[in-house]
């Protein structure tokens, strides 16, 4: 993006220097790579390229490949077979349509019990058993399993926060969901939005908004904006038939331990339900 001071994109080339894809990002590497035990970056980059060309999300397709491997449709770690499967999306084969419809659809069609999604959205490449505040966001955000909806990480500004604690996760998730809803609405990149968590740049942004719109806004502008967005999204979900029962992670995150820590997602349901009570 012109004017961005982060410049976080990269260009991935083959051995001849020909561009395969730009950029090859963490979430794609995590879900198409280590999630599927694929260690060949070229295969991952080429799958990324195909997804870009046909217009599907690399994270959801990575999750779909994972459940296909769990079902035995292809072997764990087989990057060439995974690339071939992704290429079928553009050919509209039965297998391609299944994978192209994403993690939930593919998992259910293949009879897989452990499908990593919330509200049909595949979880991104952070395990909620280790980052439980982010697990709350996955579970309770209107979007479902989306880390950009409210990523909760340890930070120097809150040294008392423990990402593995089963309690105290709802409030950080609620705040980050509210904050990121405001940042998204203003058209800011998440990476550019994170420094605005500090009160000083927040006040500068609010001043810029006031100058741009010609309206007088107070110090609570961002939180009020984010809250109004989440309420609108929640109203849409309510009308679509979603309930608090949909604000949950798949059971295997609650029941299966994450090695080597042995963590499970054990945030109480009362905490989960409190997030959307504005």
Query: Is residue 258 exposed (0-12), middle (13-18) or buried (19+ Cβ within 10 Å)?
Result: middle
How far, in Å, CA of 102 to CA of 65, rounded? 9
For residue 21, the cross-strand partners are 12
**Cis status, amide bond into 23, omega within 30 of 0:** yes
State percent of the chain over pLDDT 70: 100
Q: What is the pLDDT of residue 78?
A: 98
Residues 148 and 218 placed together within one structural domain of the fold: yes
Mean pLDDT in the chain? 95
Q: Is residue 49 part of a domain?
A: yes
Residues 90 and 137 placed together within one structural domain of the fold: no
pTM of this prediction? 0.94
Which of 62, 83, 115 finishes a domain? 115
Q: Report residue 189's pLDDT band, with 50, 70 and 90 as the boundaries.
A: confident
Residues 146 and 260 placed together within one structural domain of the fold: yes
- pLDDT tops 80 at residue 5: no
Q: Read off the pLDDT of each residue in 121-138 and give the average, rounded to a whole number.
A: 97
Domain count of the fold of the chain: 2
Residues 143 and 96 placed together within one structural domain of the fold: no
Q: Report residue 227's pLDDT band, with 50, 70 and 90 as the boundaries.
A: very high
Q: How many helices (H) and strands (E) does the chain have?
A: 13, 4
How far, in Å, CA of 167 to CA of 107, rounded? 31
Residues 86 and 24 placed together within one structural domain of the fold: yes
Residues spanned by the domain of 170: 132-274
Which of 54, 81, 115 finishes a domain? 115
Q: Read off the pLDDT of each residue in 144-155 and give the average, rounded to a whole number.
A: 94
């Amino acid at each position: 993006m012109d004017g961005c001071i982060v410049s976080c994109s990269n260009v991935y080339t083959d051995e001849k220097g020909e561009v395969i894809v730009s950029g090859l990002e963490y979430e794609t590497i995590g879900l198409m790579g280590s999630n599927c035990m694929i260690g060949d970056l070229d295969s991952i980059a080429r799958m990324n390229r195909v997804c870009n060309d046909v217009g599907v999300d690399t994270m959801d397709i990575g999750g779909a490949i994972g459940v296909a491997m769990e079902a035995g449709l292809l072997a764990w770690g087989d990057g060439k077979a995974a690339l071939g499967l992704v290429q079928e999306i553009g050919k509209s084969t039965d297998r391609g349509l299944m994978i192209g419809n994403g993690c939930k659809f593919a998992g259910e069609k293949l009879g897989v019990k452990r499908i990593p999604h919330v509200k049909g959205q595949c979880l991104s490449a952070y395990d909620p058993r280790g980052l439980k505040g982010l697990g709350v966001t996955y579970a309770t955000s209107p979007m479902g399993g989306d880390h950009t909806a409210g990523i909760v990480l340890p930070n120097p500004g809150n040294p008392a926060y423990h990402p593995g604690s089963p309690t105290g996760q709802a409030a950080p998730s609620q705040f980050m969901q509210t904050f990121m809803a405001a940042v998204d609405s203003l058209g800011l990149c998440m990476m550019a939005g994170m420094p605005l968590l500090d009160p000083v740049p927040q006040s500068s942004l609010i001043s810029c908004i006031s100058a741009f719109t010609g309206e007088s806004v107070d110090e609570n502008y961002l939180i009020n904006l984010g809250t109004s967005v989440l309420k609108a999204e929640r109203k849409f979900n309510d009308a679509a038939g979603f309930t608090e029962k949909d604000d949950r992670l798949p059971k295997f995150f609650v029941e299966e331990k994450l090695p080597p820590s042995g963590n499970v997602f054990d945030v109480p349901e009362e905490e989960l339900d409190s997030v959307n009570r504005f």
